[in-house]
Every structure is written in structure tokens, then in C-alpha cells.
A and B are shown apart, each in its own frame.
Chain A
Amino acid sequence: MRIIVVGTGDLGFHVAKRFSEEHHDVVVVGRDDEALHWAQEVLDVSAVRGHGGSPSILVEAGVRSADIVVAATSNDETNIVACLIAEAIAPTATRVARLHDPAYLGSSGIIDQSSLSIDVVISPEEEVAKAVAVLASVPGAADALEFAGGRVLAVGVEVDEDSPMIGRTVAELRRKDKGGLLVAGVYRGEVVSAPTSDLRIQVRDVLFLVGGRDALRRAMTRLGKTWARTRSAIIAGGGWEGVAIARQLAASGIHVKIIERDPAVCDEITRELGDAVVLLGDAHDHSLLVDAGVQRSDLFVSALGSEADNIVVALLAKRLGCRRVVSLVDTPGQAAFASAIGVDSVVSPVLAALNTIVQLSRPGQVVTVRTLRESLVEGIEFVAMEGSGIVGLQLALLRMPHGSLIGAIVRDGKAVIPESSTVVNAGDRVILFARPALLPRLRRLITAE
């Protein structure tokens, strides 16, 4: 596929990176010489310098033969214009626009996005807010992904020093939940592996569990995690991301406080979010955090303008006694670093938005794509189609490549953890986990070609 990416910011770069790694033809359009140069330096993409809203620039980038146009500049208006022009030149291309400002998205219903020639709207703010909300709904998890409308969860859980399961086997962890829980992977040291049932659990393993919410709750309790509902959250930073997270958390009944240091922004937030407490001040301020009640808070999310601030402030909150701290970090290296020095969870707005775009290039009827940390593992939810390789055979006979597995099947609204004798029927929703590099080899399972 030929994919044109307008914008060389974080999102644009990562979109280009992801697609080029999947061997698509990617052309990056942007005005920042340095960013373009860097993109060409580290990615197998070509670059065109110029305004993404200019017809001649888009033609130079090859929009006529493009399959997907992603307008991912930081400017909403440029993105809308790029989509309008792309439609005029290449009506068949799928057009994706990043929009920040909720005013454009709106729920007013006056016009819809297709009037603006946009097929898919992506909003890193909304995506990250959803990701944080899922995380908030699974206490004790370092990562949490949701599939099939919340019926299936995939979580990463770290084994603490005081966990009663240390030295026990994976089979023992599964014992009471034979049918409802899958231990899909174990991260130990630098290696991700599929566990055998007699593998003994060690301190600091991260277990990758798949199952329904109840099964996960039981498994995590057995692992020694306290499953306490998230009732209160503090969000540092009242930018678009902070506000989107606050709105999402408030919607699931969590009491939210936002810390923002710009009085004008505070003013705006109070008008937008009726039921949130807005605190004026700097999130780096020790006493402000204490006054905000960080030590009693269930969740702390740092959503400030810079990654470094997000890591520092989250650590500060942790030190002040907050049970669980989450940082917004986009750079993969920084994310690993943040985890290493004690931030409980890291979520990336860019990677969250990326999944929505990647989904477009997936074959067949893919419903959702979610990735676990640094895109090590990709979870794909798709509808099994008549004639595709996955239908009608026992799973054991599918010969799945090493590093991929079927995590769950949703049939008649109920999630089932499959066994080797399970047979997938047409119409089932299948949740498959795999290393992204394996996806081309899994194509035959997903599509009916």
C-alpha cells in the first residue's frame, strides 16, 4: 500500500515508522527540514518538503496512487484541508485526520466528519483517555487492554516480593479458573515466552493474563494484589489530554481532581467539566500535592506538556504515598526508563492513536488493534469469516507460528478461553495475540482469500 503521512511530529513519525516497518510505501510530507531529514535517516520512507494542504505538494508525494492519507500535523485546520484536497484528487484513498479540538468532533450532530472528507478521525487525547480508563478499571495491573467491548481483558501483572504465588506453578494459578483464564506470556529478564503449565512463578515476572473481568480479579487476588475499586484520581496537567482523561474517568464514576497552573486554562476546564475539582498550581509542588490528597488517592495520572515532567511528577506522587501512578510518555526508550525507576504504568497517546490507524491496513474484518508496551505484542480482534484459515479446524491443527496465540473467542456474547480442541465458527469474534512481525504469516487465518 502507498501511504502518505502529512506531519512530522511524534504522531506522524510513528505512523510512518509503523507502516514502513510493515513494508508499505510511505511518503512523509512536512515543513520541518530537520524532522524530514531525521525521518529519512532512520526510516525507509521518502520525504517531500512542503505544506500538507497544498495540492501540488500532495501530488508530488504521490497522492494519486495513495491508499491511505494520514493528516497528522498538530494543526487541526491543516489536517482538515489536507483531507479535503486529498479527496478532490484521490477520492478512493482512505483519509485519516488527527483532530485535537473537541469543537470539531463535537456531538452536536450538525455535520458529521464525512462532510469534511474525513473517513477516520483520530484523537490521541481521546484514545489515551480510554486507555487510562481501562487501566483504572483493573486495579494492580501495569498494562490493561480491552477487547470485545470489555468482555475480554488482557493485562500485564507484575509479581511482587510478597506474592503468595512465588514458587508455585502457572497451573496452580489457573487451577480455579480452568476455562476462564489464560496465562498467555511471561516476561522474565529480557525474554517474552509462552509459559508451560509447570513453569514456576518468580519475583518480578510479568504475567500476561487474558480473561474475563471476574477471572482476572480472582487470579490477581491470588497473586497478592488488592483489588480495590478506583474511586479517586488526581490528574496533573489540564491540557487536552488531561481534560479528556478527566472526562473519561468521571464518566466511570471516579472522583477527579485536576491540577493546572494556568489560571485561564483552569477557568476553561471548570466550564467544560462541571463535576471535577480544579486546583490552580504547579504539579511539581510538594505541598500542593499533599493538599490535593495524593496519599489517599487511588490513581495519579501525569499529563503535563513534557515527558520528563510526567515522569518526575508521577514519581513524586508515588513517594508521597499514592498507590498507583501513571505517566503519559510517547518515546519508547523513555517509557522503559520510567517503568524501570518506579512508575507503575506508562501510556502513550501516540501509540494509542496509532492502533486506530494501523487497523486500517489490516486485512479482513478487524475490529480492534491494541498493542502492549512498545508494540512488543499486538492484540487483534477480528470476525472469523467463512473460508478463512481459522474456521472449522481445531486450534491445535492450525500450526500457529511460534510467538502467536489465540487469546479468546467471543461467541454469542460470551467470552471463551480456547483450548487446543476448540473449533472457531464463522461469525465468532477472535482475539489473537502475536508479535507484529508475524502478522503477514497470520494473514491466512484472518482473511478469506
Chain B
Amino acid sequence: MTRRSSYAGRARVHPTTLSSARRVGYLLSLLLVFASLTLAVPLAISAGYREPETVGDFAATLLIGVVIGLAGYLFLRTDLAGLTRREGFAAVALGWLMVCALGSLPFALAGGLDPVNAWFETVSGFSGTGSSVIPDVESLPKGLLFWRSFTHWLGGMGFVALYIAIFPLMGVGAMQLFRAEAPGLEMDRLRPRIRSTARILWLIYLGMSVILTALLMAGGMGWFDAVCHMFAAIGTGGFSTKNASVGWFDSAYIDWVIILFLWIASTNFALWWAVLGGKPKRLLKDPEWRFYSLVLLGSSAVVSALVYLQNNVSLHDAIRNATFEVVSTASTTGFATADYEKWAPLAQLILFLLLFMGGSAGSTAGAMKAVRVYLFAKQALRGLFTTIHPQSVAPVRLGGRAVSPEVMRGISTFMGLYLLTYVVAVAAISITDIDFATAMSAVATAMGGVGPGLGEIGPYDNFLWMHPFAKLVLSFCMLAGRLELFTLMLIFVPAYWRR
């Protein structure tokens, strides 16, 4: 006798494509409402500076976002428990695209940019890149200028992480979202639960922001410039409120303060949490931090020497400008105080290579991340060793601990994908008649989230002249780089959508 038990049907209900799409849609609606509300900040600034037209543009954008978001919220309302990894990736990738689209509206409305330029500027902001298509930023309305810098700050730590920190969301679901957005190999849990972790990270972020703003104001910056430069520095973005970037202020104090904070913001936040918890040794012993800091010091020393020897400036100015450019590039910020295109070729090459490395995992910096470069190099050297001693058992170590083969494989995959994307994107934008050095550095600076490059896009140039196709390719590179390739690229892989 065969008998079907009625428990059969109660076996876990498999997520169908429909309910999956609904969950993602619901999450997107929540994110949209949340992102729209952040527009209230530049709106208030605009109102404070008495820019009625800009206020109207922000209000319109805010209204559009909230209405669409609320509609989605009401129609798609569903249970988010058991959000899958796949859905988490989709929600974060689509969420970023959506928020960038929303964020570009004020640029189109108040800034008079065409859609492609508005999109490029916004993506550049949220991804913490800082490449601009606006030649004269000083002529922009204050509210819009503020929004431009504010996107760095929101995108730097990640607005999905901010959302998780503020609003209750089911545990595992929040984890999937957090992971899809956060940079690094594996997330460092500061607390057992992801929501508490996200909160602590945002608190550290907020703390840094307040301190930097105070220090900049102490150096003579007005509050508006101080806050905007703080956004760009802590979010390692690079937009400035001045056409001449940080160089406009021409203050050694401001330069050094920014250097210090770029270095802080591009160091793993988990380490700062340990330092705050009374364990400074964790910072000093951290292999990634040591490697990153060593690269910064070494590069600064070499570039300083080159600048001093070749460019007829005082020693202090050489060190100050060289260190600023090195740290600004390595931390993937892209502020400028000097035109490094007038420097020696070797100095330019060092800066070019730094476009790829980026800061530490678990910070706001972009690009490949120091720890990946470090481990990748170690693995390559070990390959030499095992060729001589095929029988040797010697795993790649990170600070005394063996790195598991899966993690190493993940790093190799990432590096491979990064370089592949780089080559394809360089080829793609070269179609539009961009010269070699410009194309090579444009893609590197976009993927790394740095900002300026070499050739036609140096620290005092902009991206306005580029063909719209090249701008779209570069904005894709910025987003892909910020979301560590996989999150954004997965949604373009057909297998991802196959059931």
C-alpha cells in the first residue's frame, strides 16, 4: 500500500520566482523610501541658502521617490524572513542602480545636466569615486553641491548598511544584504548579530565625521566646505566644493589633517573598534594594516624624493604634496593639491599602480583592497617555492594564521575578474577615440573609485568631453568596483536568473 502522508505538502515551500521577485521588490521599495528621505538634508541646506528653485527640485525628487516607494511598500508587502543570498545580491545591486537613478534627478533638474552626465556624476558620488563632468563646481547651487558630496558619505559606508543599522530586519536577511554591500574578504563581526555590527560601524563612521569636521573648521574652513570635504574624505570619494579641489585652501594644516583622515578611513574599521576597546595591539599587529601603511610610507618617500629632485620646490612642499597625492590615490579618494602630471614618469607610474591596490578591506576605500594584493603576491612567491620543493606543505599565511584554500581561491577569482573587467572596459572606451594613457587610467580610476587619472583626465581635468558611451562604461566600472564586482555583475549573468 502506498500512502502519501499529508506532511508531504508541508515540506518547506520553495521560493518561487514570483515570491522571490516580490521580496526583492519589497526591499527595493523600502530602500527607495529611505533613500528619498535622505534628500531632505540637501533640501534643508538649499532652503537655508535661499535657493527656491533648487528646493523645488529636491522636493520633487523626494516626492517622486517616496510616492513610488510607498506604492511598492503597500502593494508588495511581504515577509522578508528567509531572504536568500541570491535575493540579497539582487536587492543590493538593483538598489544601488535605483538609488543612483533617483540621486541623479537633482543634477538633471537643478544642475541642468543631460541624463548621461547626471547619471555619471551621481554614480561617481555614491561609489566614492569623485570623477566629475562639471567643469565649474563653484557655480552650482549650494544645495546641489552639498548633495554631490553627501552621496560620497552615504555610499562610502553603504546606505544598505545604514538601513540595516536603523531599521529592524530579519537576521539572516540582513546578513545577506550586508554581505552583498560590504567590501572585503569576510566581514568582521564586531558583535554576534549583524544589526549591532552595522550600528557600530556607522557609529565609528559618524564619530570620524564629527572629529574631521571640527578639525577642518579649526583650520579655517567654513562649515559648508568643512562638512562637504569631510563627506568626501571619510567616504573616500573626492568631490570638492572648489574647482581647484583641496589645493584651493593652500594650507599645510588642512593637507595633513586630510592625509591623516584618509589613512584612517581607508583602514579596516574593525581595527579602530579594537583600538577604542583598549586593544591597540590589534592594529599594530594586523598584517593588512602593516602592509598598507608600509606601501603608503614607501610610495610617499619615493614620490617625495622625485618631486623634490625634479620640481624645484621646498622639501616640505615636496613631502606634503607627494604624500597627499599618494594617500589620496591609495585610499581611493582623489583629492588634488598639485598637478602630478608635471611630475617624473616614475612618480606617475607609482600613482597609476596605486589606483589598483586601494585601501584595507572593511573600510570605505575601493579597488582591489590591500589584503588581496598582499595575499595574491604571497601566493605567487609561494608558487616559486613549491616549484623547488614540490612536497612542501606551506599554506599562505596571514599574520600567523593559515589562509584556507577557499579564501585563496576566492581571491584569485576576484583578481582574475578584476583584470578581465579592466581589459574589456579599456577596450570598450577606446572605441570612442580616447588615447591610450587616458583610457588605461580612466578605467583603473573608475574601478578603484579614485577619481582623476592621467592624460586628459588629470587632477585638474574633467570627464565632460568624453563620449556618452564611455561615460556609461565608466559608471558601470565605478559601481562594479564599489560592490566588489560580484554583487553587480551577478545580475548580468544569465545563470543567475535561471531557475
Contacts and interface: CB of A to CB of B under 8 A. Distances in A.
B8 A340 contact: yes
A14 interface: no
B175 A44 contact: yes
B7 A373 contact: yes
Residue of A20, A376, A437 with most chain B CB atoms under a 10 A cut-off = A20
A401 interface: no
Interface residues of B, number: 26
B78 to A, nearest CB: 14
A3 to B, nearest CB: 9
A23 B7 contact: no
Interface string A413-446: 0000000000000000000000001000000000
A23 B171 contact: yes
A44 B193 contact: yes
B74 interface: no
A44 B171 contact: yes
Interface string A203-222: 01110000000000000000
Interface stretch (B9-17, B61-69, B132-140, B420-428): B9-17
B4 A204 contact: yes
B2 interface: yes
A365 interface: no
A332 B7 CA distance: 12
B498 interface: no
Interface in B1-37: 2-13
B196 A25 contact: yes
> 9 smallest A-B Cβ distances: which pairs?
A44-B171, A336-B11, A340-B8, A339-B7, A25-B192, A46-B189, A204-B6, A339-B5, A46-B192
Nearest to B85: A41
Contacts of B9: 189-190
B11 A337 contact: yes
A233 interface: no
A197 B32 CA distance: 45
A340 B171 contact: no
Interface string B355-372: 000000000000000000
A44 B172 contact: yes
5 contacts: A25-B196, A44-B175, A342-B4, A373-B7, A373-B10
B192 A2 contact: yes
A59 B2 CA distance: 55
B251 interface: no
Contacts of B186: 40
Nearest to A159: B6
Nearest to A25: B192
B432 interface: no
A187 B11 CA distance: 12
Contacts of B12: 332-333, 336, 374
B14 to A, nearest CB: 11
A142 B7 contact: yes
Given A27-B192, A33-B404, A190-B13, A42 B172 contact: yes
B442 interface: no
B191 interface: yes
B194 interface: yes
A249 interface: no
Contacts of A344: 5
Contacts of B171: 20-21, 23, 43-44
A299 interface: no
A378 interface: no
Interface string B179-194: 0000000100101111
Residue of B6, B8, B81, B193 with most chain A CB atoms under a 10 A cut-off = B6
B174 interface: yes
A432 B196 CA distance: 32
Contacts of A342: 2-5
Contacts of A26: 192-193
Nearest to A2: B192
A158 interface: yes
Contacts of A192: 10
A45 interface: yes
Given A336-B11, A374-B10, 11 more contacts: A25-B196, A37-B406, A40-B186, A44-B171, A45-B192, A46-B192, A190-B13, A205-B6, A206-B7, A339-B5, A342-B5
A322 to B, nearest CB: 12
Nearest to B404: A33
Contacts, number: 83
A375 to B, nearest CB: 12
A2 B406 CA distance: 30
B7 A340 contact: yes
A339 B5 CA distance: 6
A344 B3 CA distance: 10
A336 B3 contact: no
A333 B7 CA distance: 11
A242 B277 CA distance: 50
Interface in B70-107: 81
A249 B481 CA distance: 63
Interface in A329-377: 332-333, 336-337, 339-340, 342-344, 373-374, 376
Contacts of A205: 6
B471 to A, nearest CB: 38
Interface string B182-211: 000010010111101000000000000000
Contacts of A339: 5, 7-8
B414 to A, nearest CB: 18
Contacts of A343: 5
Given A44-B172, A336-B12, A187 B6 contact: yes
Contacts of B2: 342
Residue of B8, B192, B404 with most chain A CB atoms under a 10 A cut-off = B192
Residue of A44, A336, A340, A343 with most chain B CB atoms under a 10 A cut-off = A44
Interface in A29-49: 33, 37, 40, 42-46
Given A25-B192, A27-B192, A44-B193, A158 B175 contact: no
Contact of A25 (B10, B193, B404): B193
A25 B191 contact: yes
A340 B4 contact: yes
A336 B6 contact: no
Interface in A63-113: none
A45 B171 CA distance: 9
Contacts of A20: 171-172, 192-193
Contacts of B8: 336, 339-340
B175 A206 contact: no
B6 A206 contact: yes
Contacts of A188: 6
Nearest to A4: B192
Given A206-B7, A337-B11, A342-B3, A43 B172 contact: yes
Contacts of A190: 9-10, 13
Contacts of A373: 7, 10
Contacts of B4: 204, 340, 342
A72 B404 CA distance: 25
A142 B5 CA distance: 9
A189 B171 CA distance: 28
Contacts of A337: 11
A33 B186 CA distance: 14
A124 to B, nearest CB: 22
